Amino acid sequence: MSKIRIAFFLDVMKEDFDGVSITMHQVINRIPKETFEPIFITPQPPEKDFKYPVYQCPYLNIPFSNKDYRLALPGRMKELTDILDDFDPDILHFSSPSGLGGFAVKYARRKQIPVTTIYHTHFPSFANYYLRYIPFVEKITEPIVYNLFWLYRGSTRVFAPTKSMEEYLLGKGVKSDQLKIWGRGVNTERFSPEHRDDLLWPQLPEGCKKVLFVSRLVKEKEPKTLIRLYNLFQERRPEIKMVITGEGPTRAKLEKNMPEALFTGKLTGLDLSRAYASADIFVFPSTTETFGNVVLEALASGLPVVAAAEGGPKDIIQDGETGVLVEPQQEEAFFAEIVKLVDDAAYYERVRNAALAYARSQNWESLCRELFSTYTALVQSAEGK
């Protein structure tokens, strides 16, 4: 039997860039070479040696969110259709509802082959952060979003990370037989309490409790809530210190308003593993997550998580068991739950142990086997028509 030829259309292939790239590299690292032959089309190729063919697409930078993001312009890549025709793919997979995704869906329709996608990023929620001052934005956002989601409605299979995201996609016209819940795994060797180093941050007072936040530092991650929470700690519980890990356009504002917080910059590899494990609690106020990889990484590192009850995290965290869910943007609620974890050692240990047990049950091996089995079934179904 010949190998299944799959063309991946990925907007970011730089490793550890964001949750999308982390997820896709987990998939790439587990491609069954004996049964699959892949190629990759991307505006942002991997920086390290890569074992599969990669074709770089023209792009524009996206300055309003993060200058490192690139908007693919497949229409300017005249040879792209010829590349695909020569490869003769059996199935396509795209990562975002972008121009690259649109090209993939249209090509799949023309060739009558299956096309799949993972619902990685909850783009509609970004309007609350970047378009809030535009008059009547709420009225115009919904029809724009519905039209944008033609890519998902036009896909053979859409992998939703959580039940709440599956329900959201159903509400946007994606049919139930197109949807499949496919979560996320975590490397429990890379993210583990064993990486704890109590001397990692000598800048912080000895014996203080460390509340960690890890993410890109952008508007949609709720930096305003972080600032208000920091002020509560300063006023009422100064022995609780905040550690902010990440880079992005809101870093300067955060540093100005959180002068005694520790900013580590973006961390990767072992440095990131040590940061997670060396903290005591993880806080995550973001309201725009389809899943929230950092939440699972924190749980695997033995950190109780206090997160906004919105999007993916509310499906990951078992409220009161592996962490705590609170009303979004309510710093008093975040403060109260974090203080409870700090002050009640027995409660803290119970939540911590439950977090570890849950994280260890989430593994990439079985998830990727499931993904490639779905690809295979879709190709076989298409060939049988």
**212 and 161: one domain?**
no
Question: Which helix (H) or strand (E) is 84 found in, with range?
Answer: helix 80-87
Taking only the tens place, the pLDDT of each residue in 291-304 is: 788 999 999 999 99
Supply the pLDDT for residue 310: 85
Supply the pLDDT for residue 384: 76
**122 and 204: one domain?**
no
Taking only the tens place, the pLDDT of each residue in 257-297 is: 999 999 999 999 999 999 999 999 999 999 877 778 899 99
pTM (2 d.p.) = 0.72
Taking only the tens place, the pLDDT of each residue in 170-195 is: 988 999 999 999 988 888 999 999 99
Range scoring the smallest mean pLDDT among 115-124, 246-255, 356-365: 115-124
Supply the pLDDT for residue 323: 95
Supply the pLDDT for residue 1: 63
Output DSSP code: residue 117: E
**232 and 354: one domain?**
yes
Amino acid at 69: Y
CATH of the domain at 286: 3.40.50.2000
Output DSSP code: residue 195: G
**pLDDT band (50, 70, 90) for residue 130:** very low
**219 and 86: one domain?**
no
**pLDDT band (50, 70, 90) for residue 138:** low
Taking only the tens place, the pLDDT of each residue in 317-342 is: 999 999 999 999 999 999 999 999 99
Percent of the chain scoring above 70 in pLDDT: 91
Taking only the tens place, the pLDDT of each residue in 22-67 is: 889 999 999 999 999 999 999 999 988 899 999 999 998 866 555 5
Taking only the tens place, the pLDDT of each residue in 206-234 is: 999 999 999 989 888 999 999 999 999 99
* Beta-ladder partners of 319: 323
**197 and 123: one domain?**
no
Q: Which residue range forms the structural domain that includes residue 321?
A: 193-360
**122 and 250: one domain?**
no
**pLDDT band (50, 70, 90) for residue 133:** very low
Supply the pLDDT for residue 139: 54
Closest alpha carbon to 39 in 13, 77, 16: 13
**197 and 181: one domain?**
no
Residue 127 has pLDDT above 50, yes or no: no
Supply the pLDDT for residue 191: 95
Taking only the tens place, the pLDDT of each residue in 142-167 is: 555 555 678 899 999 999 988 888 98
Residues 6+ apart with CB under 8 A from 82: none
**108 and 173: one domain?**
yes
Tokens of 331: 């710093």
The Cβ of residue 383 has, within 10 Å, a number of other Cβ atoms equal to: 10
**198 and 178: one domain?**
no
HSE-CB for 345 with a 13 A CA cutoff: 0
Average pLDDT over the chain reads 89
The Cα 378–Cα 385 span in angstroms is 11
| Mean pLDDT calculated for residue range 106-126 | 83
Q: What total of structural domains would you count in the chain?
A: 2
Supply the pLDDT for residue 176: 95
**132 and 246: one domain?**
no
Supply the pLDDT for residue 211: 98
**297 and 372: one domain?**
no
Q: Contact 245/210 with Cβ under 8 angstroms?
A: no
- DSSP codes, 169-186: HHHTT--GGGEEE-----
Q: Contact 328/262 with Cβ under 8 angstroms?
A: no
**104 and 117: one domain?**
yes
